[in-house]
A and B are shown apart, each in its own frame.
Chain A
């Protein structure tokens, strides 16, 4: 609508999902936010040309939603539970802050750690770290506090791409993995729904690529949005993806052979030449302990880093003398021993995984698998180069990308391994056009993954596994998700190591524990703080989870509306939301998903309109809590160290250190100045008023920052592929430690530690799980999956009316997607109300009949089935989360699960009680 005299446009950003941040402007008319618009000032620096996705357009209604919590509230009903009205009543900010601070102070007085060795304070934050971009200086409060347990996840492990995070970061510093879409020509997307979850940066890049003529093959049980935009859909049987990927490797290695692959890459950048002995461990030099390779120049086994050596990639060789180092550093000495190269081991391993074998597992024709493998190899254009900023690099424009529930839960190790091996075989790993990591979170520094690369053991990058040695293994878990005890690979080095532990164990073990449990009893935290997180909707077995949440002794929630989790809260604190508060964050560089830019910089989210009601800026809330907890000095010190984001407030040639009780304005002004100074290397300094006008500041970066391989070349390092000796040893050690304490409850997971992963019947694990509970598999003949929606993905916006309206335009948002023929056989018509029942419960919605879904598969979009959130609770939307069990049997070795459950479906006339 036309502008009037009282109209202004306020630059800001949207970071409601990990695919952001993206730029936007808020149109404000006479003090009221009326529209969200792109920020075309950023058109040249932002890959998405200053655009935001559909979610951001809901922020106006989010601001003025009459169902918001507008004042601090306290609970008056001491009983907690789904059927207990909390009796929230408004209170003053003083009273609310005192209530929370008193509980915090009381907990602190008893000591940060309780009698079980667990933090007394637990904090749950929502989707993918995005809350950090809305909670101002609260991270500085948490840093000032000390030990905090982030175990009670809202979805990490079960809803994120968990195994990809862990293995991706291990193999190529790739917490998130993406195709180098601007250069890619062939993308096998196995469930990767990037046109929904990749944000505007991914959407425009893949659209450009389609017009350019790249081919994307979408391998997934139902035809997603991304599948719709792909050249080909391969409707694979659910959870059989490892078999498909193994068969691709088979075709490359067994049908084409080494000469057609990228031999220099395999020889110099991977451990393919490392010799493996008869016990499955590397043969090592007896003196140095370094893995041996067979030097074709001298026809001798030599340490892998021997200058001038020409390592054989394939073959088996006799080694005069060698040692192997097993778990707990047990050494075995070998003389005149046969050593096969790791590549040779792979070639033998993959021999049985033919396309014909995979056809029987995946329900995908062998000829299709073989053709896709051939197309992949041809598109890889081995030998081609590209010049980037004066540097000649290999151009390998092929990538295999993985989606949620392919890259988490059982089978994910196999998938992550296989697709990374597929990249390595053609030299596409971290080279232009190929498979890239875009950020690190389990290593430092989080803003530059290249800086996390340093020489480690055996010619590989340094790794920071949680120790499994007898001396160092953590027998008193420091967190309720046991991440250091159970998951070596998640480490304890990065900002997110703890939060990426097996979060469902934190929930599950509050109820029942295995019979042979011999660790300290898990306790509930004295205080639980929750922000932008609703695990009672976004986890699994959510009704049960809500019952657990009701048992927490004290819970304070930063609350937008009442929801299914804060329904159990003791105190609600209304924070100023997206358009009402201020915060500076980093943008650009390389970060999540396809957010790798040609620029890096910072952007300010600013107060476009006054907060509704008594909602307060989060930085003000954090400061007040710090003050009332007696932590003000530590809190300000943390801000000075840069914990609130961007950079330390004191550095070379500048000092904006804060003291006392700084106002939010003063804090962010200092951050703004430091941000500009550090980015411009001292040339420019801009305060908060400049950013309020301009919104962001960026400087160019080289595209060479997108690719890790040149960094490994510089440091003479290899990718830890294809053979997983380190994981094998770690698993063996972990098993010994568990068994020494008479615990066998993690044995299934220990079996996942394989040097070369074998196919195991992944879908059967879900069938066995329901049979174990006493149900009959025949009664639950369908697979229920879930898929994301751009309208709702990670936005916490189920209460936004406009989003509900426009989402109806996208198939499946009315309920349950079901194959049309299957539906006809069951007497179900489009729009019929249906019950989808698993062995733990039922969920209800309207049937959406489609051809683009396998006959044995049902799909429910997003995460709904609300019962407390105003507006959302009236949508009548079903949810997989309600009926997917939390189970140790369904937890993989990384502590990850997958969104899949066996179900029955039937038409119903009315909702059952």
Chain B
């Protein structure tokens, strides 16, 4: 039994968007679609101001509102915690986009390219018609998690089976692993530090945790 989670140390994040870029690169998302990004938030009034950086993406909720509203069961929750979308049966109704309190889902109805109407070579190499007209979002780099199941590698420890955003993070803010394994890095970080989950009051039980400080 595994439950994958992401732990993000807000003390470390510098809002550089390297994870945003790495995700776009790894998942070949089209222009305007960001499965993850870092929010640049400000609070207070001059001169008592705080500016904070908060990485956001699909929270892979244990109680995902997106799943509830999906009329075709395209959105599902896996036993290991990943919330998935089956592109074959998604009808692109956008109910899930409306339901998600984290603004984590996107839908595009026609191909989009970085430069005009034609794909550049890197886009053409990875064009995927399946993604047109369906909801898409962060998959926790599902292919890598599935590869780990076959190889015995450990997501969050072995880079080949760790989400691209976590691999790319230059500040060491992002961690990934099996939160049910008390020896995993994510379990230890959550045990040692104060943390919160976004919009926890909604009862969504997100799998993305934010660290604040040491206990």
Residues of A within 8 A of B (CB): 1-2, 29-30, 32-38, 40, 48-49, 51-54, 57-58, 60-61, 63-67, 195-196, 200, 203-204, 207-208, 210-211, 223, 225-229, 233, 235, 790-791, 801-803, 805-807, 809-811, 819-821, 850-855, 871
Contact = CB atoms under 8 A, between A and B. Distances in A.
Given A35-B25, A211-B11, A801-B115, A53 B46 contact: no
B34 A806 contact: yes
Those 5 A-B pairs whose CB atoms lie nearest each other, nearest first: A228-B51, A57-B21, A64-B120, A801-B114, A207-B12
Nearest to B38: A809
A875 to B, nearest CB: 14
A203 B170 contact: yes
B51 A54 contact: no
Interface residues of B, number: 55
Say what secondary structure dominates the interface of chain A.
mixed
B121 interface: yes
Given A235-B47, A850-B42, A851-B49, A61 B171 contact: no
Contact of B32 (A227, A805, A809): A805
Interface in B35-56: 37-40, 42, 44-47, 49-53
Contact of A32 (B20, B34, B46, B122): B122
Given A34-B28, A34-B122, A207-B11, A809 B114 contact: no
A852 B40 contact: no
Contacts of A200: 170
A753 to B, nearest CB: 37
Contacts of A791: 16-17
Given A805-B31, A806-B37, 17 more contacts: A1-B126, A34-B125, A37-B26, A54-B17, A54-B20, A65-B115, A200-B170, A204-B170, A207-B9, A208-B172, A210-B11, A225-B14, A235-B46, A809-B17, A809-B20, A809-B34, A811-B40
B111 interface: no
A54 B44 CA distance: 29
A63 B125 CA distance: 14
Given A203-B171, A821-B46, A32 B121 contact: yes
Given A51-B168, A854-B46, A203 B14 contact: yes
Interface string B66-85: 00000000000000000000
B17 A204 contact: no
Given A806-B20, A809-B39, A811-B40, A207 B172 contact: yes
A29 B115 CA distance: 21
B54 to A, nearest CB: 11
Interface in B91-128: 114-116, 118, 120-126
Contacts of A801: 31, 114-115
Contacts of B159: 38, 40
B40 A810 contact: yes
A30 B20 CA distance: 25
B172 A204 contact: yes
A357 B167 CA distance: 50
A35 B106 CA distance: 22
Contact of B17 (A2, A36, A51, A807): A807
A485 B168 CA distance: 48
B15 A228 contact: yes
Contacts of A54: 16-18, 20-21
A851 B20 CA distance: 25
A433 B47 CA distance: 30
Given A195-B14, A809-B38, A851-B49, A65 B120 contact: yes
